[in-house]
């Protein structure tokens, strides 16, 4: 492919060289550059890769895409093109390089603070029940045609994203479903993509601080961009941020909720719990009348299911697919029931901050367990505020708490637990708790001492498959560990 073909649709200035130069591949990391490649110089939050342009050329790059001038001494034989934004250029060039795959797929993007992962899984289940072939990208990784791949970011860098879309197409997928993070939008990872359907779940303060967003308003404004880049927007009408989020939107809207007169409004939710089911049944009115069953607990599951319903209606999928998909959908590490006993219920969840922990425990309380037992720790080398907040919530809402490790990284687990206990003392000085630093020991203790009717929530790691101690990651998949111990002890 020539430079001219790669630059189709971009604003640019040819600084030197020829637009007829052939390009073998695109790179934005000097470590990956090979002969004949084009190196895109990115201005990052930590460093400016324009400083490494010479290294890229030494490794074989024959084209440099720059955002600001660089010294060209010794680079006279290299084609150099300047663009207003190298991040945006990387996205658009990547799309061109891979044959604009997003234009050939039904594109669905889901944004919000909480619920993105669960909602995308629900949408995927409904789409597949309708016969669609789906490629999905998000926090839990990449899923397509029975294959699972890990990803570094919720919304991958634009080159990897376009490469995945190309792979989805080549593997026979007709739909790409993805979580769209505010960082992903702000950093132009989705530049050039038009979504057939954009989904908004809810909004609360998150990702605000150095290297992320300067304020909640900025965070919200980037989320809002999705609804200027989609054809149909499926939005939660109950969220107080929805009006501000939709300012300047350019899409047709489908609304959902439980409190306001939305296009699809849920009512009369009924909670149910058994050995292998913990979910909710509810009715829907508005544009249509439906009765739905979701194999996930709590009112937030109703909202996520309504979002999936809205997408299904936007794409004219049959009601049978909606019923089947929602009833069968299970999300790894998101309020995931591990069916091991008729005596007690145990589940795992990714809740790892104050907001998500409070939301989860409030939901579990609705099922009126004899005791609500919570097992958790907090990540090392992360904000202490998160520890205080989670400790305070657990002290207020759990009947019994087991403090243990999470991914300690380079901190001592004892120091992390000490911070959590500061929050617990604030939440409830009389809270009952036990410290068991080893997470596996904590799980075994909870199962050994479970009482009839207990609900045990193992939170913080969710879908993760490892334990990080002093920077060393070792296998640790909680679902499997729970099942193995139940079989070993003959728990039924």
What CATH number has the domain spanning 101-328? 3.40.1190.10
Which pLDDT tens digit goes with each residue over 358-378? 989 999 999 999 999 999 999
Positions of CATH 3.40.1390.10 in the chain: 3-97
123 and 177 in contact (C-beta within 8 Å)?
A: yes
Torsion of CA 296, 299, 304, 309, to 10 degrees: 100
Task: Report whether pLDDT(274) > 90.
Answer: no
336-489 topology per CATH: 3.90.190
Mean pLDDT of 137-160: 92
State the chain's mean pLDDT as an integer: 95
d(Cα 193, Cα 486) in Å, to the nearest integer?
Answer: 47
Residue 87 has a pLDDT of 97
pTM: 0.84
How crowded is the C-beta side of 441, counted as CA atoms within 13 Å? 8
Q: What is the pLDDT of residues 306-336, one digit of tens each?
A: 999 999 999 999 999 999 999 999 888 888 9
Which residues in the chain are classed under CATH 3.40.1190.10? 101-328
Render pLDDT for 405-433 as a digit per residue (tens, 0 to 9): 999 999 999 999 999 999 999 999 999 99
- Residue of higher predicted confidence among 217 and 74: 74
Identify the CA nearest to 314 among candidates 2, 106, 27: 106
Statement: residue 214 has pLDDT above 90: no
Ramachandran region of residue 431, left (φ > 0), alpha (ψ -120 to 50) or beta?
beta
Residue 44 has pLDDT above 90, yes or no: no
CATH 3.90.190.20 boundaries in the chain: 336-489
Backbone dihedral region for residue 291 (phi beyond 0: left; psi -120 to 50: alpha; all else: beta): beta
Q: What CATH number was assigned to the domain covering residues 3-97?
A: 3.40.1390.10
């Amino acid at each position: 492919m020539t430079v001219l073909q790669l630059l189709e649709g971009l604003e640019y200035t040819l600084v030197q060289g020829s637009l007829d130069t052939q390009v073998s591949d695109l790179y934005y990391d000097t470590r990956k550059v090979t002969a004949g490649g084009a190196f895109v110089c990115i201005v990052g939050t930590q460093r400016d890769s324009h400083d490494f342009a010479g290294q890229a050329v030494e490794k074989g790059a024959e084209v440099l895409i720059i955002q600001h001038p660089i010294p060209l001494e010794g680079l006279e034989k290299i084609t150099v093109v300047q663009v207003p934004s190298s991040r945006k250029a990387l996205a658009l060039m990547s799309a061109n390089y891979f044959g604009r795959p997003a234009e050939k797929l039904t594109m669905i993007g889901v944004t919000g603070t909480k619920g993105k992962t669960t909602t995308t899984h629900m949408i995927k289940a409904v789409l597949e029940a309708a016969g669609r072939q789906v490629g999905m990208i998000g926090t839990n990784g990449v899923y397509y045609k029975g294959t699972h791949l890990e990803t570094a970011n919720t919304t991958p860098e634009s080159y990897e994203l376009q490469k995945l879309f190309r792979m989805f197409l080549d593997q026979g997928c007709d739909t790409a479903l993805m979580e769209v993070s505010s960082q992903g939008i702000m950093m132009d990872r989705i530049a050039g993509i038009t979504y057939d359907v954009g989904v908004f779940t809810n909004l609360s303060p998150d990702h605000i601080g150095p290297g992320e967003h300067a304020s909640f308003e900025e965070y919200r404004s980037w989320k809002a961009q999705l609804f200027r880049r989609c054809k149909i927007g499926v939005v939660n009408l109950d969220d107080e941020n929805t009006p501000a989020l939709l300012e300047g939107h350019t899409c047709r809207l489908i609304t959902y909720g439980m409190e306001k007169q939305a296009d699809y409004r849920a009512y009369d939710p009924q909670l149910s719990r058994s050995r292998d089911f913990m979910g909710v049944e509810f009715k829907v009115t508005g544009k249509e009348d439906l009765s739905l069953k979701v194999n996930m607990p709590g009112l937030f599951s109703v909202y996520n299911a309504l979002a999936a319903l809205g997408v299904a209606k936007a794409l004219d999928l049959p009601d049978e697919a909606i019923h089947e998909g929602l009833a069968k959908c299970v999300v790894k590490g998101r309020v995931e029931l591990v069916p091991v006993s008729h005596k007690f219920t145990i589940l795992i969840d990714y809740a790892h901050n104050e907001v998500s922990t409070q939301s989860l425990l409030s939901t579990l309380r609705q099922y009126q367990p004899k005791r609500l037992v919570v097992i958790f720790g907090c990540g090392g080398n992360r904000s202490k505020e998160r520890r205080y907040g989670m400790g305070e919530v657990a002290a207020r809402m759990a009947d019994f708490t087991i403090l243990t490790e999470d991914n300690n990284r380079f901190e001592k687990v004892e120091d992390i637990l000490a911070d959590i206990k500061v929050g617990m003392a604030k939440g409830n000085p009389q809270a009952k708790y036990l410290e068991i630093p080893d997470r596996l020991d904590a799980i075994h203790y909870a199962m050994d001492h479970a009482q009839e009717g207990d609900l045990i929530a193992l939170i913080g790691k969710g879908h993760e498959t490892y334990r990080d101690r002093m920077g060393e990651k070792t296998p640790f998949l909680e679902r499997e560990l729970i099942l193995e111990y139940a079989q070993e002890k003959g728990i039924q």
